Structure 1
Amino acid sequence: MTEKLDRRKKYTRMVLKDSLINLLQYKPISSVTVKEICEKADINRSTFYTHYQDQTDLLTQIEEEFMEDLHRYLDAFSVESEDDALKTLEKLLEYIKDRKNMCQTLLNKHSDTKFENRIIIIARQFVMDHKINMRSEEAAYLSSFLISGAMQVIKDWLTNNTQQTPKQIAEMIDMFIHKGVNAKIH
């Protein structure tokens, strides 16, 4: 019986999250109501409130789960060489592509920038821990520059419906990082 309840609980949360993500594609969280989420999920409001306080709480839970998952994902990789860094970036882009709808929605114009900033902080720390070998002040500025540029490329890639493979985007970002304005664009 407990297993059945757990599955039902997981299903309910999944449907509510999917419904909110779908609504956020078209409008900001401030315009989304619990009633809309429930109608889209085909769940009654009392069920919603047994899981979440309000729509913002639901969004926060989605973001927290994504961040925890991202941390676990990045912690699984060791970056000892340039080749490792490129493979890690490719794996990260595969991760993003597998969660394309959610990432695209949480990074779109209707979303709060806190989520994007949190991703940038995680990525920046990862870069500083694994990649940059210079004074900390310079490293902080360089990592901000690199991560912000890479984040915009990823957002553009998501907006363009991930037409290129994760490997192609990883190689492009790597080329921009290492060759900058001297990169030869095909």
Structure 2
Amino acid sequence: MSTKLDRRIKYTQMVLKESFMKLLKQKPLTNITIKELCELADINRSTFYSHYKDLYDLLYQIEDGIIEDMNQTLSSYNYTKNEEAIQMTEKLLEYIVKNSESCQTLFSEHGNPTFQKKVMMLAHQHLLKSLIQDKHFIPVNIEYLSLFIANGSIHLVQHWLKNGLKESPKEMAELMINLATKGLSSFQQ
């Protein structure tokens, strides 16, 4: 009986999340109502409240799940090797492609700027760890470099999502790593 109940709970949460993302794609969170969400998801309000306190709770749970997945991906690679940095970045971008609808919405103008900042800080922490291990950088500048690369990468991902993911994750990973390691010189002939 409990597995049947678990499946129903998972299904209800999935429908709520999908319906919420559809609404968030169309308008800002402040213009979405629980009534509207429940109608779209075809559930009643009491069911919504049995899973979430409010719309912000639902949003934060979606965001936290994505952050956790990204953190696990980033934690499984050795950053000191350029090949692994490209593989890690490619895996992250593949994750974004697989979850493109949610990511596109969360990284859009209707998305939560706090989420975008969390993603940037997560990338910054992992970059910082790799740059500290690389002896070619002056310690004082590492933090600035890491912030610069993380911010630029987030904006590249936002642009990539907004423009329909035309490049493959591998192409984007190579572009991002080349920009991070070689800067503008990677574009010179």
Interval of TM-score (by shorter of Structure 1 and Structure 2): over 0.9
Match of 2:113 in 1: 113
Report whether the alignment pairs 1:128 with 2:128. yes
Distance, in Å, in 2 between the alignment partners of 1:137 and 1:29 is: 40
User: RMSD in angstroms over aligned alpha carbons?
Assistant: 1.6
Q: Residue 19 of structure 2 aligns to which amino acid in structure 1? A: S
Alignment of 1:3-152 (within 5 A): 3-132=3-132, 133=134, 134-152=137-155
Note the residue ranges of structure 2 that are not aligned, 5 or more in a row: none
Note the residue ranges of structure 1 that are not aligned, 5 or more in a row: none
Instruction: Report SS of the residue matched to 1:172.
Output: helix
Report whether the alignment pairs 1:160 with 2:163. yes
Between stretches 8-17 and 132-141, larger displacement belongs to 132-141
Change (3 A) 1:28 1:185: farther
Q: Are 2:89 and 2:173, in contact at CA under 8 Å, matched by a contact in 1? A: yes
Deviation by residue 1:9-54 (Cα, 9 ceiling, x = unmatched): 0000010011111111111111111011111111111100100111
Between stretches 165-174 and 65-74, larger displacement belongs to 65-74
> Which of 171, 174, 177 is equivalent to 1:171?
174
Distance, in Å, in 1 between the alignment partners of 2:188 and 2:36 is: 45
Q: Residue 32 of structure 1 aligns to which amino acid in structure 2? A: I
Deviation by residue 1:119-154 (Cα, 9 ceiling, x = unmatched): 011100001112343444311100011111111111
Same amino acid, percent of matched pairs: 40
Aligned-pair CA distance for 1:175: 2.1
The count of aligned residue pairs is 186
Distance, in Å, in 1 between the alignment partners of 2:69 and 2:186 is: 33
TM-score, normalised via structure 2 length: 0.93
